[in-house]
Amino acid sequence: MSTASSGAKALNDWSAAQYLKFEDERTLPARDLLARVPLTSPKRVVDLGCGPANSTAVIESRYPDAELVGIDSSPDMIRKAKATLPHLDFTVEDLTSYSPSGEVDLFYSNAVFQWLKKEERFEIVKKLMASQPSGGVFALQVPDNLAEPSHVLMRETATSGPWAEKLASVGRDTFQTPQEIYDQLIPVSSQVNIFHTSYYHALENHAAIIEWVKGTGLRPFLDPLQPEEKEGFLKEYLKRLQQAYPVCADSRVLLRYPHAFLVDRVDLKEDHYKNDE
Ligand SMILES: C[S@@+](CC[C@H](N)C(=O)[O-])C[C@H]1O[C@@H](n2cnc3c(N)ncnc32)[C@H](O)[C@@H]1O
């Protein structure tokens, strides 16, 4: 286990400040996910990939008496989380190596698992579920936006400029389909609830779409580029966004943002794992 150290943001780390430019919009799915968690008074709750603690604050307001901790692999995010909610425990930890120190009634994860490799995601979910008490809950939400113009055009821009070679292997794995998720989890669950919601964010203009994705999906495309390449990439990407997103009556631009949600109730795990032996 490692803890956040103070100091400047590391190269290619997430930026809490950039991410929080759209804090209200980004926190909407966090609230909607929590509203579907069927627990009244969980004792221990972990916010997996807590970011700057915007999702942790939502959890705390619903479960003020729970022992609540947040983990995230980004030192910059954890620094901000500690500054925002100094009475809670936040640590820099990577989900791929994280193990809880005791039984956790609710694992909650908003907008994180899409960043993991496809084959790792549900191995991690199942490993963590196996450590939960029966009746515990695993709740997660991921953006389902890879087919949205914002992301299609990001990839198109990446393949059609002088930066194409540098960005050849950039991109994240598609997320599992609802049926793939269901089939993986139903053997260890008493209930698997999957739902899907699209938000329409009225952003100021097309440049605001870029500011939005700079905090998340655009990061891996920009990080490898030199300043002048970044400038060229962003100019080209903006041109494409302007063609793809019509302007609204009030001159704003509607960014459609689909999200997939999963709320899973852990079943008597011992029976299941005995069968596996
Ligand atoms: C889009 S932010 C979500 C932040 C917050 N949960 C929220 O609801 O807005 C994604 C977060 O996942 C974290 N993350 C990405 N990969 C991770 C990993 N392998 N282990 C832990 N955290 C990870 C990032 O550092 C980032 O803070």
Looking from the CA of residue 14, the nearest atom of ligand 1 is 25
Distance between CA atoms of residues 34 and 67, nearest Å: 16
Q: Is residue 11 part of a domain?
A: no
User: What's the domain range around 124?
Assistant: 16-276
Each residue's pLDDT tens digit, 161-216 = 999 999 999 988 999 999 999 999 999 999 999 999 999 999 999 999 999 999 88
Is the pLDDT reported for residue 276 higher than 50?
A: no
Q: 45 pLDDT exceeds 90?
A: yes
Domain assignment of residue 89, yes or no: yes
Rounded distance, CA 4 to CA 195, Å?
A: 34
- Give the number of domains in the chain: 1
Quote the ligand 1 centre to 76 CA distance (angstroms): 11
| Residues of the chain above pLDDT 70, percent | 92
Q: Give percent above pLDDT 90 in the chain.
A: 84
Cα 112 to ligand 1 centroid, rounded to whole Å: 5
Please state the atom number of ligand 1 nearest to the C-alpha of residue 47: 6
Q: Residue 42 is encoded by which pair of tokens?
A: 């969980």
The alpha carbon of 258 and the centre of ligand 1 are apart by a number of angstroms equal to 18
For residue 133, the domain's CATH number is: 3.40.50.150
In a domain, 6, yes or no: no
Residue 2 belongs to some domain of the structure: no
Q: Does residue 3 form part of some domain? A: no
* Ligand 1 binding pocket, CB closer than 6 Å: 14, 26, 30, 49-51, 54-55, 72-74, 77, 94-96, 110-112, 115-116, 216
Confidence at residue 206, expressed as pLDDT on a 0 to 100 scale: 98
Ligand 1 mean position, distance from CA 79 (Å): 13
- What ligand 1 atom has the least distance to the C-alpha of 98? 20
In the predicted model, what is the mean pLDDT of the chain?
Answer: 91
For ligand 1, pick from 112, 114, 213, 261 the residue to mutate: most ligand atoms within 8 Å of CB.
112
Per-residue confidence (pLDDT) for residue 18, from 0 to 100:
79
Residue 5 belongs to a domain: no
Burial annotation 144-160 (CB, 10 A radius, 16+ → b, else e): bbbebbbbebbeebbee
User: Ligand 1 atom 1: the closest Cα is on which residue?
Assistant: 111
| Closest approach atom of ligand 1 to CA 94 | 20
Confidence at 22, pLDDT banded by 50, 70, 90? confident
Mean pLDDT value across residues 12-34:
86
Is 47 contained in some domain? yes
Quote the pTM value. 0.89
Tell me the pLDDT tens digit for each residue of 232-262.
999 999 999 999 999 999 999 999 999 999 9
pLDDT at 262: 95
The model's pLDDT over 65-78, given as tens digits with 9 standing for 90+, comes to 999 999 999 999 99
Specify if 181 maps to a domain.
yes
- pLDDT at 269 > cutoff 60: no
Residue 2: per-residue pLDDT: 35
Q: Which residue has the higher pLDDT, 105 or 269?
A: 105
Q: Which atom of ligand 1 is nearest to the CA of 216?
A: 1
Can you tell me the mean pLDDT for 92-110? 97
